[in-house]
Structure 1
Amino acid sequence: MTSKSLITINAALVLLALLLMLSGLGGGWGGAIAGFVFVVGGTFLASVSSQSADKVLGVLLKAPQAFDNAEQRRYRRRTLDSFLPVAEWARRGNARAAERLARQINDDFLRRGVMLVLDRTPEREMMRTLQWRIGNERENDQQEIRVIRAMVGYAPALGMLGTLLGLVQMLFGLGDKGINEIGVAMGFAMLTTVYGLIGANLLLKPLAAKMEQQSRARISWMYAQLEAVLMLRERSHPVHIQEALETYLDGSRDYPLPNLQDMAPRIRRLIQRTKAA
């Protein structure tokens, strides 16, 4: 389904919800369903007005991953297990075996860093490439978080808009319409506010906070991998590399963060040495 088709279907559902409310069809359930479709569909339409539909849909599809911390820890453990044999062969000077195993590393960032080391890429170029990847990943994460934070504002606004529309429809129907139509309009008015507040405060805000925490953990893991790549370039013993990353992994509970203060002087010395060269 294309983005244009998705937007068209969503707009049609919002219009259908309004027509259902205005016509008074469906009784109490009609107002409840119409209010839900109006708030959810309207929030999505407001989001795609500032971002592409593919971007918004991609963020929503990735949302469940923000709550799967156990899978993230297993992924990082597999990354470490696939990296250590590469470090062992590289230390022994067998670049061919190390390169063959490096292609099996599941993490793209670490695999790229290892290949730069094995290809004897100059230190300055290697650091520039990896730092750019980290910055790009951080920016992508922030863009996704901004989408959710924008939806936090849209949902209550659509709820209040639905409330106003429902109240206006109810007032218009006081003179010549039955109690059923007035009840649907009142239900629509009240429930849209409830849906907007619940969606913003119980769903979208916690999701944005969770995505922020996951982003910090992911960027921190990339810095830990950068440290591992630097140790690989210096041909450090795999045991030392394992100890460094094991400390990171074992100390990670919900949202692990490496000791960047210890890492920063090392990176600065490396950059200064490359500039001097």
Structure 2
Amino acid sequence: MKRLAALLPALLLLQAAPALAADTPYAMIHSPSTGTSVPLNTPLVLAGGAVNGESGGVTTVEFSSDGVNWTSLDARTETWSTVLFPSVPGPVTIWARARTASALGAVTASTTIHVGGSTTPPLHGDTKLVLPPQPGHPAELDPDLAAVELGLRTRFDRAGSVPAVVLRRGGYTGPVTARVWGPDGTLLAQQAAPGAAHSQRITFATPVPVQPGVDYVVSYYTPAGGYVASEGYFLGGVANAPFYAGVEAGVYRYGEGGGFPTETWNASNYWIEPIFRP
């Protein structure tokens, strides 16, 4: 009986110890969106995220376009990205799976793109262009204090309108002016907006009609710089239907009062995202 009594505390401790959760890493693909069309022989951003519940510890994400050959990417920040070069026309499906130091997760994400095609995946109401984070290309505050117009060149896969834009504010938090420009630099709409400290949605008085396959520019003018930029972001195009923002899609123009932005710098992204209404 004494020996049994001595063993009981140890047995209770063993029973009380919680079981260690098994690693189940989960990969996601944020861009390109499934069903979208991308140009042939043009660099394309592939970007996503990865999680492993509360355990964390994701190390890499692997992606494949045939389910047999896999390419590994660093995902220790729980984000990942690379630039592809689609060179064969037709539909392509990309799969993704995540790893930790001790486990390879199942395939948990896929997206099908149409290389060199023309598709219009279904939309459900207003859609914002989502520019996914890319490791190695962080959104940083720029100390520039000069007056400047900062924009994004993008096209749409169908006719519709742009009712608003969303921009990420930087160190300058005063009033700005949002604008939409046609492909030839014609000013289609502008809307003054009060100051804001963080992200800001600016709605135009009337939604701006847009046509498919035409490059438009959405921009905002800041009279004192103080913006956010991610250098090296647009080394490839970002394709999230109904939007396609190509290589060097970030544009700017210096000068009092701003104007149609056409200059580029190191594939920078200035974090202005249009909203599309079908």
- Whose helix fraction is larger, Structure 1's or Structure 2's? 1
Judge same fold: TM > 0.5, yes or no.
no
Bigger radius of gyration: 1
**What TM-score does the superposition give when structure 1 sets the normalisation length?**
0.25
- Whose strand fraction is larger, Structure 1's or Structure 2's? 2
Which structure exhibits the higher relative contact order, with contacts defined as CA atoms closer than 8 Å and separated by 6 or more residues? 1
